[in-house]
Structure 1
Amino acid sequence: MIEQISGLPPGALGFRASGQVTAQDYERVLVPDVEAAFALNRKLRLLYHVGPDFTGFDPGAMWEDAMLGFRHFSGWDRVALVTDVPWLRVAALAMGFAVPAQFKLFNNIELDEATTWIGEAHSTDEEGNK
């Protein structure tokens, strides 16, 4: 399941993944919200929280995620991934260089820090990946 995280600053979207995430979750929640936000903004910031009750992605969900990223490849300003899922952290660290945005990885306990980082102005001495 995917649900939107509310209360983020303008130009930022947040989503929480829990349980088993399906392609239908992307089609019903994430894709329409992202497309609507891109209709109003040239650049977006994304906070994606994969919580402790997450059990996995269906193959269709992983495809939808990849396609959404490719459709808006240069439209991301900052991306924060918050998770303690080991395989997802490894994949994010391995592929983080390919994200055409500032990318930072956080642990679940650092969700508040990730939320703050998404809303901050860019810093020239940004530490990059965490």
Structure 2
Amino acid sequence: MIELLKGFPDNVVALACHGHVTREDYDKVLVPALEKALRSNDKVRVLYEIGGDFEGYDVSASWEDFKVGMEHLPRWERIAVISDIEWIKHTMQLFSFVMPGTVRVYPTEEAAKARLWITQAA
């Protein structure tokens, strides 16, 4: 499940992932939120909170994630990932070099720091 987090500027798409994430989560939650932010802003920031109850993605959700990311690649300004799940942290660190924006990974205990960084002026 993906849920939108409230209280962020319109150039920040803030999300929390719990349990099992499906393509339907992308189609109904993530993609519309990103499209809305991209219509209003030249550059967009994304905050992903991936909780300890995260079970994984459907293959179709993983593909949708990749597709959405690549389609708007030059428009990502910052991406903050909050997670204590080791494979998520390693994957983000491994692929951060291909992202045009800045990617930072934070442990759950530093969630407030991640939220501050994602909203700070450049």
Q: Which residue of 1 aligns with 2:32?
A: 32
Structure 1 ranges of 4+ moved more than 3 A: none
* SS of residue matched to 2:6: coil
CA distance in 2 between partners of 1:37 and 1:52 (Å): 27
- Cα deviations by residue, 1:15-46 (Å, 9 ceiling, x for unpaired): 00000001110000000110111111111111
Deviation at 1:121, TM superposition (A): 1.9
Give the aligned length. 122
Q: Percent identity?
A: 36
Q: Which residue of 2 aligns with 1:91?
A: 91
Is the 2:2–2:30 contact (alpha carbons within 8 Å) kept by the matching residues of 1? yes
Q: Which amino acid aligns with 2:73?
A: F
TM-score scaled by length of structure 2: 0.96
- Cα deviations by residue, 1:35-92 (Å, 9 ceiling, x for unpaired): 1111111111110111111111111110010001011000011110111111111111
**Structure 2, unaligned runs of 5 or more:** none
| Root mean square deviation, CA, Å | 0.8
